[in-house]
Amino acid sequence: MDELQRFIFQIKFENAFLKNEGQAFEDMFAAIMGHAFPGDFQPVRAYGNKGDRKSDGYRASDKTIFQCYGPRSTKLDAMQAKVDADFNGALGHWGARMARWIFVHNDMDGLPADVVQQLVDLEAANPTVKLGSMGYAELFDVVMSLTPTQLTDLFGAAPTQTTLSQLEFMELQPVILAIPRMEPDDNPPLTAPSATKLQANDLSEAAAGLLRVGRRQERLVERFFEQYPVPNFGEEIAQGFRDRYQALRDEGASPDAVFAELQQFAGGMSGSPEHQAAVLAVMSYFFERCDIFEDHIEEGAAI
């Protein structure tokens, strides 16, 4: 797996983690764990009036019960009540076959302190069972330990650096023509970004890495606009990006959420690897022109 693929799969996983809730999150978790622990992890589904025995998955090698939650949409009292009911229910159903119980959650910001304390207290009261939690960071480590083939099965194909290096006009054209165009401002920004622009926008390692790698085809995108027969075409696309970026900023979206939405605006990171490489090249080009994301302004510099 090369650098570009790694960044792409990181972004695809983050987007899936943020998007999926309820049964969709549980299904995603089971698929990831099934790839990571083949023949060991078993998804558990409800069956008839017996339910799922208070388990969404079981790993036989260390007798671990996994239970999935969606705390982003659950009030604290309800979450704590569910933790108590599910842990004690699993203990009753699985008995000595449960040596570990893991709270799997989809909250990027982590668990409330009261729930963390609750897990500590439950473990103290049940010394034969180890309790823990599994959120974004833990699941990320599992995901990134998978092979490119497994990651492709989970999240779809990703372009390689070779795909990007072999990009041609024929792959760029449908992506660029599908981007909404707007009447450009009289004085659009045309200066190159500062060397610290990526850090100034607080983008994740994967998002920043994608923009850096995408710069390798900056000249190709520039040549496309130079040769396109419609006057001012590139500036109309640039203004579309600027307007969409400003709208997302006005909504208070986080830098990585803005990045994900701009990817969708530019055509999305699904479809063929060539399509994804073209989207990346276009986004990197407009980042370098300072049409999207804020540039870093040195203290004392003229504005």
**Alpha carbons 6 and 16: distance in angstroms, whole number:** 15
**Digit-coded pLDDT (tens) for 266-295:** 999 889 999 999 999 999 999 998 889 987
pLDDT for 18: 86
pLDDT for 196: 81
**Digit-coded pLDDT (tens) for 237-257:** 999 999 999 999 999 999 999
**Digit-coded pLDDT (tens) for 120-158:** 999 999 999 999 999 999 999 999 999 999 999 999 999
For the whole model, what pTM was predicted? 0.86
Among candidate residues 34, 98, 33, 104, the one with its CA nearest the CA of residue 64: 98
Amino acid, single-letter form, for residue 127: P
| Alpha-carbon distances, residue 12 vs 5, 110, 242, 289 (angstroms) | 10, 20, 24, 25
**Digit-coded pLDDT (tens) for 161-211:** 999 999 999 999 999 999 998 887 666 555 566 768 888 888 999 999 999
Q: What angle do CA 220, 221, 222 make, to 5 degrees?
A: 90
pLDDT for 287: 93
Is the pLDDT score of 62 beyond 80? yes
Tokens matching residue 18:
């943020």
Rounded mean pLDDT, 213-232: 94
Inter-residue long-range contacts of 135-140, CB under 8 Å, 24+ positions, other chains counted:
135/104, 135/105, 135/106, 135/107, 135/108, 135/110, 135/111, 136/14, 136/17, 136/106, 136/107, 136/108, 139/13, 139/17, 139/29, 139/32, 139/104, 140/10, 140/13, 140/14
Task: Using pLDDT thresholds of 50, 70 and 90, give the confidence band for residue 53.
Answer: low
pLDDT for 302: 38
The average confidence (pLDDT) of the chain is 89
Q: Which CATH topology does 3-143 take?
A: type ii restriction endonuclease, domain 2 (3.40.1560)
**144 with 10: CB under 8 angstroms?**
yes
Pairing of strands 64-68, 57-59: antiparallel
Is the pLDDT score of 227 beyond 70? yes
Name which of 20-24, 87-91, 123-127, 134-138 the model is least confident about. 20-24
- Residues near 183 by beta carbon (within 8 Å), at least 6 away in sequence: 236, 239
SS3 of 133-189: the string is EECHHHHHHHHCCCCHHHHHHHHCCCCCHHHHHCCCHHHHHHHHHHCCCCCCCCCCC
For residue 102, the surrounding DSSP H or E stretch is strand 100-104
Write down the domain spans for the chain. 3-143, 159-288
pLDDT for 187: 61
pLDDT for 71: 67
pLDDT for 157: 95
pLDDT for 109: 85
Rounded mean pLDDT, 87-103: 93
pLDDT for 197: 86
Tokens matching residue 285:
């080009």
